[in-house]
Amino acid sequence: MFEQYAIGRNNNYHKFEKPWWQTFIMFIGMFAALIVYVIYESIVKCKARKTDIIINNDKTADNDQIHNPDTKDVETLRSKLKTVFILAIPACCDLLSTGISNVALLWIQASAWNMLRGAMVVFSAIFHALILKRKYYGYMWFGVAVVTIALVVVGASAACSTGIANEDASEGKVIIAILLMIGSQVIRAAQVVLEDYLLHDIHASPIYMVGIEGMWGCIITLAVAMPIVQFAASGSEEGNGIHEDTLDTLYMLVDQPILIGLSLVYIVVILFFNTTAMFVTNITNAVMRTIIESMRTLCIWIVQVILYYSLEGTDYGNHHPSIGESWSKWSFMQLSGFLLLFTGMLIYNSIWKLPFVYYEKLDEKKPEEEFKVSDTSNKPPLVIEKEL
């Protein structure tokens, strides 16, 4: 989306470099999860009514259930209202971390950007151990150490290779992008801790929480974030991540319908990603999802390389030279960083068990201690890792 050109305000023809617009439509995709939730709840309630009829016919229903059918509904409503207001806090963290990481995407390729998101593992582990006093075993810290090394390798390859930087991105901008990514993952890790602390006693559907956080994200983005970037550094160039003219965005969307199409596709993908992630976790387990999420990073890189060489020499490729990623001598360094990152995830989740290392018994390990690569919550289905 960032590589598309269109005519904006004052007939200015330029790239659609709108990180805060992308953040906004991400929240729309999350908000749309409430549609899935409503459909799912309707099906569940329909089945529940049939069950109640059978119970009442058999005269085995609980007296409280028969004479006070609304008691449970009132308690559920209170719990949902509490969840609605509490989720405004992590939504603020989500807005900040996603917006900053989208700004970083202006200057580095999607593959390196996606790998650097693994920094959340490191900060999340530290915050959980220090703030929530969560017990971490030796193999977990070893996995975190391997991930840290992987991030250093990936960051170094991004800084050294012009192939990993986007077009017109200087080495200084690439370094800034790396620092922004690390900062965004610190905020994201803080969001994990906040959600863990604030929502530990709340029992609500994960897809419902995704939708509510998306609702708050849309509201806060429209009411706070977009007005700030609209007037911040208004004299500076559009597309630097600090200033973003919303009116210019609308002009460009009207001028190039493909941008509207891409925005709609992005919203659908976010919705599909969040929904399917919940079902994958329920059908298999969170460990399997960890492996699948790790493979996503590799798939993004492969697609980037295929795009570059399939478009090379074509009119479209010449007009959009930043699409895709070329293979360079530094790509081997990036590949080794990915392998280390994947290895660290396997070790952390005790999928790859190291010899002579103590592993807790299955019933000794708390479910919430299981790490998910792309989750910003310790609850498996709450996928707020939406940037794709």
pLDDT in tens, 57-68: 554 444 554 455
Q: Domain for residue 235, yes or no?
A: yes
Residue 14 backbone dihedrals phi, psi, to 5 degrees: -155, 175
Say yes or no to pLDDT of 376 above 70: no
pLDDT at 333: 85
The reported pLDDT for the residue numbered 161 is 65
Q: What is the largest CA-CA distance in the chain?
A: 76
Judged against a pLDDT cut of 80, whether residue 167 lies above it is answered with: no
Position 25 scores a pLDDT of 97
The 3-state secondary structure of 323-339 reads CCCCCCCCHHHHHHHHH
pLDDT at 383 over 50: no
pLDDT score for 361: 63
pLDDT at 301 over 50: yes
What amino acid occupies position 233? A
Q: Which of 49-53, 269-273, 373-377 is predicted most confidently?
A: 269-273
| Count of structural domains, the chain | 1
The residue type of 5 is Y
Q: Considering the domain boundaries, does residue 23 fall inside one?
A: yes
Looking at residues 6-35, what average pLDDT do you find? 93
In this predicted structure, what is the pLDDT of residue 356?
76
Mean per-residue pLDDT, 35-60: 75
Task: Give strand pairing partners of 15.
Answer: 5
Give the helix/strand (H/E) hosting 150.
helix 138-160
**CA-wise closest residue to 97 among 76, 116, 83:** 116
State residue 357 phi and psi, 5-degree precision. Answer: -120, 135
pLDDT tens for residues 200-219? 777 778 888 899 999 999 99
Cα separation, 183 vs 192, whole angstroms: 14
The Cα 168–Cα 173 span in angstroms is 9
Which pLDDT belongs to residue 317?
73
pLDDT computed for residue 185 by the predictor: 92
Percent of the chain residues topping a pLDDT of 70: 79
**Which residues are paired to 14 by β-bridges?**
6
The encoded tokens of residue 125 equal 């582990």
- Structural domain harbouring 47: 5-9+17-53+75-108+165-284
CA distance 345 to 360: 17
Residue 178 and residue 345 in contact, taking contact as beta carbons nearer than 8 Å: no
The residue to which tokens 């939406």 are assigned: 386
User: In whole angstroms, what is the distance from residue 274 CA to residue 287 CA?
Assistant: 17
SS3 14: strand
| pLDDT for res 263 | 96
Contacts of 86 (CB under 8 A, 6+ apart): 198, 199, 202
Residue range 97-125, pLDDT digits in tens? 999 999 998 888 877 788 788 788 888 88
Whole-angstrom distance, CA of residue 388 vs CA of residue 386: 6
Q: Give the pLDDT confidence score for residue 368 in this predicted structure.
A: 40
The pLDDT-based confidence of 233 (bands split at 50, 70, 90) is confident
- H helices of 170-313, in order, are 171-198, 206-220, 226-231, 246-255, 257-283, 286-311
Instruction: Specify the DSSP class assigned to residue 6.
Output: E
Q: Is the pLDDT of residue 184 over 90?
A: yes
Structure tokens at 141: 């810290």
| Helix (H) / strand (E) containing 148 | helix 138-160
Contact status, residue 128 vs residue 195, Cβ threshold 8 Å: no
Give the span between the Cα atoms of 45 and 68, in whole angstroms: 17
| pLDDT band (50, 70, 90) for residue 374 | very low
**More confident call, 293 vs 123:** 123
**Does any domain span residue 277?**
yes
3-class DSSP state for residue 15? Answer: strand
Residue 366 pLDDT > 50: no
| Residues 6 or more apart in contact with residue 81 via CB below 8 angstroms | none
Enumerate the β-bridge partners of residue 165: 108
Instruction: Report yes or no: 21 and 259 within 8 Å, Cβ to Cβ.
Output: no
Query: Does the residue 88 lie in any domain?
Result: yes
Residue 67 inside a domain? The answer is no
With cut-offs at 50, 70 and 90, classify the pLDDT of residue 344.
confident
Q: Which of 140-144, 275-279, 323-327, 370-374 has the lowest mean pLDDT?
A: 370-374
Look at residue 123 and tell me if it is in a domain.
Answer: no
- Residue 347 located in a structural domain: no
Assess if residue 127 is contained within a domain: no
Q: pLDDT (tens digit, 9 = 90+) per residue, 251-265?
A: 999 999 999 999 999
pLDDT at 162: 54
Average predicted confidence (pLDDT) for the chain: 79
Indicate the pLDDT class of residue 382, thresholds 50, 70 and 90.
Answer: very low
